[in-house]
Structure formats: structure tokens, C-alpha cells
Amino acid sequence: AQKVTQAQTEISVVEKEDVTLDCVYETRDTTYYLFWYKQPPSGELVFLIRRNSFDEQNEISGRYSWNFQKSTSSFNFTITASQVVDSAVYFCALTPNTGNQFYFGTGTSLTVIP
């Protein structure tokens, strides 16, 4: 079975605080890809990052960083020094290499308070 769980439904932080969005996944495939997407209030879905199952290196892009841990089946996303523009719904997703479908979590709504 393939499943993505984002247990945090809503998070509020004050501007400049750090925040971590959790993502836990389930898959029986040995080769798979993990993703994060951002959906700002304007509604579009923006691709942020892709990770394959063989690459457990953490990645940093500006204020964004991602921590992929196969041992705990997690792919967490941290925003450092949050800004109001980070307010959005963030979706974690999984696709097995052999499959045709994507499996999305239910999303975490982040509100950054000025």
C-alpha cells in the first residue's frame, strides 16, 4: 500500500520563527520519489523539491531545507526565519517508480503571522 500522512493540519507561527512540516510515508517499493508542493492562497500548485529513495542527503535551498530519513519513512520540510509569503498549504507526495499514480498527503496549512 502507498500512503502519505501529514499529521499537522494547521500550523501558525510568528514571522521569523522556524517551522517544520512533517511528512510520513508508506510504500513497499524500494525505488520511489518524494515531493513537496506549495499551494499559496492564489491556488496554483508549485513544485518545490523531488527526492528519490536512493538519495538521503538533506537539501537546503535558501530558507528551505528538507530532511529525508528512510529509517523513519519521513521527509520533513523546514522553513527557517519564516515570512508572511510562506503562508500556504504544503503537500507532500509519493510516487513509486513502477507505478502510475501519485499519492498526496492531505496538506498542512501554514499561516505566518506578521
Contact residues toward another protein (CB under 8 A) are 33, 35, 37, 43-45, 47, 50, 52, 91, 93, 95, 97, 100-102, 104-107
Least spacing, CB of residue 100 vs another protein, in Å: 6
Comparing CB distances to another protein, the nearer of 68 and 91 is: 91
Q: How many Cβ atoms sit within 10 Å of the Cβ of residue 13? A: 16
Least spacing, CB of residue 82 vs another protein, in Å: 22
Classify the C-alpha dihedral 50-30-91-62 as positive or negative: negative
Residue closest to 78 by CA, chosen among 93, 61, 100: 61
Comparing CB distances to another protein, the nearer of 8 and 95 is: 95
Comparing CB distances to another protein, the nearer of 16 and 70 is: 70
Q: Would you call 64 helix, strand, or coil by DSSP?
A: strand
Residue with cell 492562497: 41
How long a stretch of residues is the chain? 114
Least spacing, CB of residue 9 vs another protein, in Å: 10
Least spacing, CB of residue 60 vs another protein, in Å: 19
Q: How many Cβ atoms sit within 10 Å of the Cβ of residue 108? A: 21
